[in-house]
Chains A and B, each alone.
Chain A
Amino acid sequence: MEKYIGEYLLPGQLGHFFIILSLVASLVATIAYFMDVRTVRLNPGTTFSPWRTLARGAFITEVISVISIFAILFYIIHNHRFEYYYAWKHSNLSLEFKYLLACFWEGQEGSFLLWSFWHCLLGLVVIKTAKSWESSVMTIISGAQFALATMVLGIFFFGSKIGTNPFILLRDTEGFLNNPDFRVNGNLAGPIMNDYLSHIVDGNGLNPLLQNRWMVIHPPVLFLGFASTLIPFAFALAGLWTRRISEWVNQALPWALFSLAVFGVGIMMGAWWAYESLNFGGYWAWDPVENASLVPWLILAAGIHTLLIYKHSGYSLRSTYLFLVLTFIFVLYSTFLTRSGILGESSVHAFTDLGMNVQLFLFLYGFVWLAPILAANTFNKRIITLFSAAVLGLACYFLNISWLPLIAMLAGVITFMVFVFQQVPSVKKEEEGSSREFWMFIGSLVFFLSAMVIIFKTSLPVFNKLFGINTAAPEDVEYSYNQIQVLVAVIIGILTGATQYLRYRNTPTKMFWKKMALPLILSIIASALVLAFGKVNYTQKGLGFEMEIWLAVAASVYAIIANAGYIWIGMRGKLNLSGGSVAHLGFGLVLLGILLSSAKKEVLSYNTSGIAVSFGEKSDQKPGENLTLVKGMTMKMGKYDVTYRGDSLHPKKPTQRYFRIDFRQRETGEQFTLWPDAFINDKENALMSSPDARHYLSHDVFVYVSSMPDPGKNTDTSKFVSHVRSVGDTIFYSKGYIILEDLAGSDNIPLDKLSPKDSAYTATLRVHSFARQGDYKRNLLLVKPFDKPSYAEPDTVMAEGLVLRLDELNGGKANIGVRESDNVLEYVTLKAYKFPFIGVLWGGIVITAFGTFMSMARRIRLNRAARNKTIPSAEASAAGS
C-alpha cells in the first residue's frame, strides 16, 4: 500500500473502529434489553434476568465508544490534521479555539454524534433511575442509538452507501480525486502525489457566519432537547409493550418537563442568535427549519398537559399516548426535512444533500411503525403489523409511486392510534364543562392542531415532490402564519389564566367567578392601559388583524396577571408548588413580548431625506427601507442624526470590516455608536453582515449593513480630464461646478522637506454641488523639486465622487485635473430597526424555562417520596427510624 508523507492514519482508523464498536454495542444492547423484557414476562415474579447485565455492559461500551469518537475527532480538528476531510472542510489554521466546537457541529456527522452523545447520557440516567422500566425503555433508546450509529458509518452495503464517515480521508473524496493538481504530472489517471499533504496549505475554514458563540452553544442545547423527546416516547411505548398501560406516567412526567424546558430554550437560542447576529431583521421568520423544530415542541406541550389531566382525573390517557409518541416522530420528520435538502428552495438556511435521504426516510419510517408493533397486544396483530410495514416499505422502494411514502407513514400512525384505542381504557362519563380537565384538553387540542397547521404549510416542498405539483409559498409568508398563530395566542392566553382557577371534576360556578373576579378586572384595566399608551397599532394588514392583535395583547396580559394572582392566592405564595403557574406567567410574557415587539417594530432607515433623488424611474410605492450613508455626511434617520464615520478591519480577519455609525438622538441629545460589521464571503460571494444593537430597557435600536461597495471591484476606468483655468474661472462637472479661487507660489507655503531651491504651488478650489447645500473647499498641492520629477497630490470630494489634482502651473494659469469616479466614494447602505419591548420576550423565556424546571424538580421529589413509602416496614425500622 502506498505511503503518503505526513499522514497520521492511526486516529482515523481508531475512530472508525469505535464507530463500528458503537454500532455493534448498540445492537447488542437493543437485543439484550429486548430479551430481558421477554424473559421477565415469561417468568413472572422476576424483575430482571442476566440479559440485563449483558445489555448494561453493551450500553456502557457504547457510551465509551461515542466519547472516544468525540475525543478523536476533537484531536484531529484541533491539530489541524488536514489529511482528514472533516478537519479540512470545517476548520483552518486561523481557527480560534473557542470556535472549535462550532466546527464539530457544522458537519452533519458532528451533529449526529452530538445527538448520540446526549442519548448516551440520558440513557445512563434512565438505567440509574427507571427501576422496573429500565429494560423496556432502554430497548427503544438503544434502538435509536443503533439508527444514529448507522448515520456515521460510511460503509457500502450492496452498492449503497450507509452513512457518512467523519473520519474519511481527504484523498478519498470526490473533489480531491478529480483535482489534477494532486496527481503526479497532473495526470488524473495516474497516481496521487506522494507529498500531496505538503500542498495543502490550509483548510477550507469554518463558515464565517458560524464563527459565533451561538454556534457553540445553540446546537448542544437544541440537540439535548431533540434527544430528550425520546424518553417520554420510549416510556409510552414501553407501557403498551409491557402491558402496564398507565403506570409509566409518573416516571415519564419529569422527563417530559425536562425536555420541554431544554427544547424550548434551544429553539429560542436560535431565535436570539438570529436576532443578535444575523441580518434576518428579527428573531423569527416562520422559516421551515424554525417551524420544523417548533412543531414537536408544541405537541410535547400538549402531551404534558394531557398527561396531567390523566393523573388528576383519569381522562385523556389515549391523547397522551398519541401526543408523546408523535413528538418524537415529528423530531425525526424535522431531521428529515432539514438534512435532506428538500427545503432548498423555500428556506434561507443552507442545506447539504449528503445523499442520505433514503436512510433519513428509513429512520422516520422505522420508528413510525415501531409504535404500532410495540403497541400490538397479540402475536397475530404484531406479525401482521410487521409484515405490513415491510411490504409497504419495499413497495415504496421498488414501485415508483411518488405519493406512496406518505400513505405508508399515515398507515403506521393510524394503526398505532387504532391499537391505542383498543387497549387504553377511557373514562365513560363525560367531562364536566366546568372542569379543569375539559378546558385543559381544549388547550392541548389547540396546541396540537396549531402544530399540524404549521407543519402542513412547511411541508409544501414535500407535497410538491410527492404529488408532482408546483406550489410555492404565498406572497406574505409571515402573515399567513401570524394570522392563525395570533388567534391561537388569544385562546391559549385566556386558557392558561382561567383554567388555573377551575377545579378538577367540577367547579362551583360562584366560587370560580369569585376567585376570577379580581384578576379579570385587573387585567382589563392593565390591557386597556397597555393598548392605550403602548400605541399598539398595526395597520399593515387591515383592521381585522389589528383587532386580533389587540385581543391577543389583552389575553397575554390576562395570562400574566391571572397566573401571578394564582401563585399568590391559590398557592398562598408557596413558590415551590407553583412551577406550572410560574411557567405560564413566563409564557404570557413571551406572548406579550412577541406581540409588542413585532407589532411595533419600526423601520428607522426610510430613504426619504438627505441625498437628492434623481431617479431614472421613480417607484411610487413606499420609500425604500434602506438608507445609504456617505462617509462624513450626517443624515436623519427617524429621531436620530446618523453619521457614517468610517470603517476598520477586524484585527485577525482581514476580510471583515466594522463600520462605525454615530447616532445622536435629536431631542435628548443622547449619543452612542454602533459597529455593525460586514464582509464578502469569498466562497459564495455573498454579503454576510452582523448587526449591532443598542439595548434600552424599553426597546432595542438595531442596525445592519445591507449593501456596501466591494473594495475588490476596483475597475475604475474613468480618467483625469485637464482644464486650463485662471483665478476666478469655473470648471463644470456632472453634478455641479468648481471655482478656482486662488493660486499661490512656494514662498507662502509652509512645507518641510523642501529646500529653498524647490518650488511648490497650491490651488484653492471651491466645489459647489447642485444637489447639496454648502460648498467644499480644497487646496491642491503641486511640488516641483529642482532635481526630481514633480508630483501632484490629488485630493477628493467624496460626496461628489470627485478627484482633483493640480497638474501644472504656468504663468498664472493652472492645469486642474478632474476625475469623476464612484469608487472614490465611501458609503454604506444600512437598514435600521427599532424593536420595542423585546426584553419582555427574552425575560419571559427565562421565566418559562425556570418555571418548567421548578415543576420538574417537584415531580422528581414527589416520585421519590412515593417510592420511599413503598419500602417494607422491616427495612424502615432497620434504618433506625
Chain B
Amino acid sequence: MKKIHIILLVAIAAAVAVLVSFLQATSTYDTVATARSKPGKFVHLMASWDKGSPLQYDAINNPNFLSFTAIDTLGEKVKVIYNNPKPENFEQAPRLVMKGKYVNGVFECSNIQTKCPSKYKEEAGSNNTQTTQAGSNGAQPASTRTISELSK
C-alpha cells in the first residue's frame, strides 16, 4: 500500500477515536428525577425556579453563592447551589438550563442559562410605551454625577 494511504487510514482512525471518546463524554438533558438517578454525573437539568421556596443570595457578603430550589415540569423539586453571581434575569426567566451534578442531595451547578420568554414575538407598539416610561422613572441610580465630577 502506498505510504500516503496508510497515513490516511491512521489519521482517519485517530479522528474517529477522538469522536468516539467525545461521544462518551457527552452529557444529557435531564429532569430532576433522572438527574437524581445519576449522582455525580454531569447533566443539563431543565427546570425552573420554584418561587415558593427560599432563595439565598447576598451579593455583598458573598457574590459567589446562590442557593434556590428548582422545580421541573413533572413537579419534582431539588435544591440547587451555584457558585457564581445570580444571573440578572433569574427571577423573570420562565425556564432555566442548569449544568451540573447531583451530589449528596443537592444539585451543584457550574452554569445557569436563563431562557428568555419568546424574545422575538414583541407586540408592535407596546414596546414603545415601555421604553418611554423606562426613560422617565426606571434605571435612575442614586448617584447621577457625570464622569467629570467623579474625577476629583
Q: Which residues of A contact B (CB under 8 A)?
A: 88, 92, 170-171, 173-176, 178-179, 181-182, 199-205, 345, 348, 350, 352-353, 430-431, 433, 438, 441-442, 445-446, 449, 452-453, 456-457, 460, 470-475, 480, 484, 607, 611-617, 619, 621, 623-628, 630, 645-649, 651, 654-655, 657-658, 660, 673, 675, 679-680, 682-687, 706-707, 709-712, 801, 822, 825-827, 829
Contact = CB atoms under 8 A, between A and B. Distances in A.
Which of A171, A442, A611, A682 counts the most B-chain CB atoms under 10 A from its CB?
Answer: A682
A441 B140 CA distance: 62
B105 interface: no
A92 B122 CA distance: 15
B29 A470 contact: yes
Contacts of A173: 124
Given A430-B2, A470-B28, A626-B63, A684 B124 contact: no
B14 to A, nearest CB: 8
A685 B89 contact: yes
B85 A449 contact: no
Contact of B125 (A200, A474, A628, A829): A200
B132 A202 contact: yes
B33 interface: no
Nearest to A630: B60
B63 A628 contact: yes
Which of A348, A649, A680 counts the most B-chain CB atoms under 10 A from its CB?
Answer: A649
A182 B81 CA distance: 46
Given A645-B150, A658-B147, A826-B143, A624 B63 contact: yes
B24 to A, nearest CB: 9
Contacts of A200: 124-125, 128
Given A472-B28, A475-B27, A679-B139, A648 B145 contact: yes
Contacts of B62: 607, 613, 615, 624
9 contacts: A181-B126, A431-B4, A471-B28, A475-B99, A613-B62, A617-B65, A624-B84, A683-B122, A684-B116
B138 interface: yes
B37 interface: no
B88 A687 contact: yes
Contacts of A446: 11
A680 B139 contact: yes
Contacts of B4: 430-431, 438, 441
Interface in B120-152: 120-132, 134-135, 138-147, 149-151
Contacts, number: 226
Given A472-B29, A628-B61, 10 more contacts: A175-B124, A449-B11, A457-B22, A471-B27, A613-B61, A619-B83, A680-B88, A685-B88, A711-B141, A829-B85
B112 interface: no
Contacts of B92: 685
Contacts of A673: 151
User: Which 7 A-B residue pairs are closest in the complex by CB-CB distance?
Assistant: A624-B64, A687-B88, A176-B124, A707-B85, A685-B89, A475-B42, A474-B25
B108 to A, nearest CB: 9
A446 B131 CA distance: 52
Interface residues of B, number: 74
Contacts of A707: 59, 63, 85-86, 88
Nearest to B132: A201
Contact of A657 (B14, B61, B141): B141
Contacts of A711: 138-142
A679 to B, nearest CB: 7
B123 A175 contact: yes
A777 to B, nearest CB: 21
Given A446-B11, A646-B143, A619 B81 contact: yes
Contact of B61 (A171, A350, A472, A615): A615
Contacts of B18: 453, 484
Nearest to B106: A617
B135 to A, nearest CB: 6
A826 B143 CA distance: 9
Contact of A660 (B25, B87, B99, B150): B150
A472 B12 CA distance: 25
Contacts of B27: 471-475
A352 B120 contact: yes
A762 B98 CA distance: 54
Contact of B124 (A182, A350, A471, A613): A182
B37 to A, nearest CB: 14
Contacts of B2: 430
B122 A204 contact: yes
A709 B59 contact: yes
A647 B141 contact: yes
Nearest to A170: B124
A387 B38 CA distance: 49
Given A173-B124, A655-B134, A712 B63 contact: no
A187 to B, nearest CB: 16
B7 interface: yes
B150 A181 contact: no
Contacts of B129: 201
Given A430-B4, A472-B43, A474-B27, A175 B122 contact: yes
B19 A456 contact: yes
Contact of A179 (B110, B124, B140): B124
B139 A179 contact: no
